[in-house]
Chains A and B, each alone.
Chain A
Amino acid sequence: MTGAAQVWDEALAQGRFLLQRPQGGGKAVFPPRELAPGTGGDLEWFEASGRGTVYSVTWIQRRPPEAPYNVVLVDLEEGARMMGRVEGVTEESLRIGMAVRARIAEGPLVVFNPVQEGQG
């Protein structure tokens, strides 16, 4: 037995992006918890779809020649929100409301890529 955070870490190390939800259904929970927030009930694990929408974005400026990098908040399709980074975008192309998909990058770390029109 380990705490929920370690369960999540170990799954991620195996290439699985997990979320939790209250047993019997409800909005997804992240970060991982030992109990359902607000009710104290039990949680169950499930595999995230990885689909999400950019909820907010900031570009952190650095001294040139270092390029700015983005930090986003992503609303995951299952109802949880997490911080993240969107890869392969510019300050002009990254927009609030943009559809993104999670991938597990080196670290391991959950990062996001834009979903092209017609994909999903």
Chain B
Amino acid sequence: MGDTFPRGRTAVVGSATFGVGEMPGYSALEIAANAVRRALADADISLPEVDGLFIALPDDLFGGLSLAQYLGIHPRFTDNNRAGGASFMSHLVTAVMMLDAGYLDCAVIAYGANQRSSGGKLSTPARPDRWDAPYAPMYPLSFYALAAARHMHQYGTTREQLAEVAVAARGWANTNPEAFAKGPLSVEDVLSSRMISTPISARDCCLVTDGGAALVLTRMDRARDCPQPSVPILGAAAATWYNSLTQAEDVTVTAAAESGPRAMAMAGVTPAEIDVVQLYDAFTINTVLFLEDLGFCAKGEGGAFVSGGRIAPGGTLPVNTNGGGLSCCHPGMYGMFAMTEAVRQMRGTAANQIDGAKIALAHGNGGTLSAQATVIFGAPGTA
């Protein structure tokens, strides 16, 4: 047993973002609350109907309690699960199971942050553990750098190939009105940007922006009453192998190699059947690692895979069609935005809509490549 999933029996009926980019003068909670209001309006569901509340805020360990208070509701269940940027996909797993079991009727998953306006630096309560800390790694950046350096050593991956990831993301961002970073970006621009922790330079890193997002989930029978085409949830799985990357058996293989195949098995799809892919690209190496681990190419071939514009606009595999964390937005934890973009693609309303897309994958990453979670969405009517 294990991995029993109510394929297609729950759906996203409301989805919204708020304040993506810069939202000066707003707190994280205010941004999250506005995203919730918009998502509920999208679903035509009233606030008192929300009985499940799921949130991880960057600076509030009890974020779920704060949001319940702020919204003035008494949820049957509140979840502050903190798995970094993968929290929200983990929230979705719990919400789907509780909705299908009838414990909940309407779940909201939310996020908000004001990291750009409140200081412009990534703010996280997470720190290196006491065994790593004395060596003063940058957290989390140096951990990703250690994974990238090993990937380059083991498979011959190059900085040029990593740069292709950033260039592709910018290509998508340039035609997305919501994206924060726009303008030309070349492989050479990435290579010549300031080195931070080798081999990761400034343009290999995600943005620091403000922004919030929220999803409203309910059972499919109820979803039919909602005004928007409901987006069925076909599969979802979370996997955790460690907290510090130091303790990874192989730093070039993440737990996405577990969460991805499990979520796809629940959904009954293979990588070849996935039309659009949204990955948590905190750094350019993430996209390479996750494309390998999720099965879009073989381990070690990610660098070659992302080259030649394959994941850029016009390429054969659309990845991070909003511009991703690298060029659309990255308000501290990006997981929600991978899901809201996947939902837009399934509804047919994305700024960079992929014609005929029927299956979308959204993948979240948390910690130092530690927590991984994958969700498979279907186009309305496919479940």
**Residues of A close to B129: CB separation below 8 A:** 31
* Chain B proximity of A67: nearest CB distance (Å): 13
- Interface residues of chain B: helix, strand, loop or mixed (majority): mixed
Contact A60-B251, Cβ < 8 Å, known A82-B246, A83-B132, A83-B246: no
**Binary CB contact string for chain B from 182 to 208 against chain A (1 if under 8 A, 0 otherwise):** 000000000000111111100000000
Query: Is residue A69 within 8 Å, beta carbon to beta carbon, of the partner chain?
Result: yes
A60 interface neighbour in B137, B153, B199, Cβ under 8 Å: B137
**Residues of B close to A91: CB separation below 8 A:** 198
Stretch from B80-88, B140-148, B231-239 forming part of the interface with A: B140-148
* Chain A proximity of B159: nearest CB distance (Å): 13
- Interface residues of chain A: helix, strand, loop or mixed (majority): strand
Contact A85-B149, Cβ < 8 Å, known A60-B142, A61-B197: no
Instruction: Name the residue of chain A whose CB is nearest to the CB of B151.
Output: A56
A91–B195 Cα distance when bound, in Å, is 13
**Residues of A close to B132: CB separation below 8 A:** 83
Query: Is residue A59 within 8 Å, beta carbon to beta carbon, of the partner chain?
Result: yes
* Chain A proximity of B269: nearest CB distance (Å): 31
A85 interface neighbour in B135, B194, B200, Cβ under 8 Å: B135
Query: Is residue A35 within 8 Å, beta carbon to beta carbon, of the partner chain?
Result: no
**Binary CB contact string for chain A from 13 to 32 against chain B (1 if under 8 A, 0 otherwise):** 00000000000000000110
Query: Is residue B299 within 8 Å, beta carbon to beta carbon, of the partner chain?
Result: no
Instruction: Name the residue of chain A whose CB is nearest to the CB of B132.
Output: A83
A96–B155 Cα distance when bound, in Å, is 13
* Chain A proximity of B136: nearest CB distance (Å): 7
**Binary CB contact string for chain A from 54 to 66 against chain B (1 if under 8 A, 0 otherwise):** 0111111100000
A11–B214 Cα distance when bound, in Å, is 50
Interface residues of B in 113-159 (CB under 8 A from A): 129-132, 134-138, 142, 145-147, 149-150, 153
Determine whether the beta carbon of A56 is less than 8 Å from that of B153.
yes
A60–B145 Cα distance when bound, in Å, is 10
**Residues of B close to A58: CB separation below 8 A:** 137, 142, 145-146, 149, 197-200
**Residues of B close to A85: CB separation below 8 A:** 135
A61–B202 Cα distance when bound, in Å, is 11
Determine whether the beta carbon of A56 is less than 8 Å from that of B150.
yes
A-B contact count (CB 8 A): 67
Contact A61-B195, Cβ < 8 Å, known A73-B246, A81-B246, A85-B135: yes
**Binary CB contact string for chain B from 243 to 255 against chain A (1 if under 8 A, 0 otherwise):** 0101100010000
**Binary CB contact string for chain A from 62 to 90 against chain B (1 if under 8 A, 0 otherwise):** 00000001010100000001111100000
- Tell me how many residues of A have a C-beta within 8 Å of chain B: 23
**Residues of A close to B200: CB separation below 8 A:** 58
Determine whether the beta carbon of A71 is less than 8 Å from that of B137.
yes
Contact A83-B131, Cβ < 8 Å, known A58-B197, A59-B197: yes
**Residues of B close to A57: CB separation below 8 A:** 146, 149, 198
Query: Is residue A109 within 8 Å, beta carbon to beta carbon, of the partner chain?
Result: yes
A91–B198 Cα distance when bound, in Å, is 10
**Residues of A close to B153: CB separation below 8 A:** 56, 96-97
A57–B145 Cα distance when bound, in Å, is 8
Instruction: Name the residue of chain A whose CB is nearest to the CB of B244.
Output: A83
Most buried by B among A56, A60, A97: A56
Query: Is residue A107 within 8 Å, beta carbon to beta carbon, of the partner chain?
Result: yes
**Residues of B close to A61: CB separation below 8 A:** 194-198
* Chain B proximity of A52: nearest CB distance (Å): 13
Determine whether the beta carbon of B195 is less than 8 Å from that of A83.
no
Instruction: Name the residue of chain A whose CB is nearest to the CB of B150.
Output: A56
Determine whether the beta carbon of A83 is less than 8 Å from that of B137.
yes
Determine whether the beta carbon of A56 is less than 8 Å from that of B251.
yes
* Chain B proximity of A4: nearest CB distance (Å): 12
**Residues of A close to B194: CB separation below 8 A:** 61
* Chain A proximity of B268: nearest CB distance (Å): 31
A97–B244 Cα distance when bound, in Å, is 21
**Residues of B close to A71: CB separation below 8 A:** 135-137, 142, 146, 197
Can you list the 10 inter-chain pairs with the closest CB atoms, starting with the nearest? A58-B145, A56-B150, A56-B146, A83-B132, A59-B198, A96-B153, A31-B131, A71-B137, A60-B197, A58-B197
Report which B residues bind A (CB closer than 8 A).
129-132, 134-138, 142, 145-147, 149-150, 153, 194-200, 244, 246-247, 251
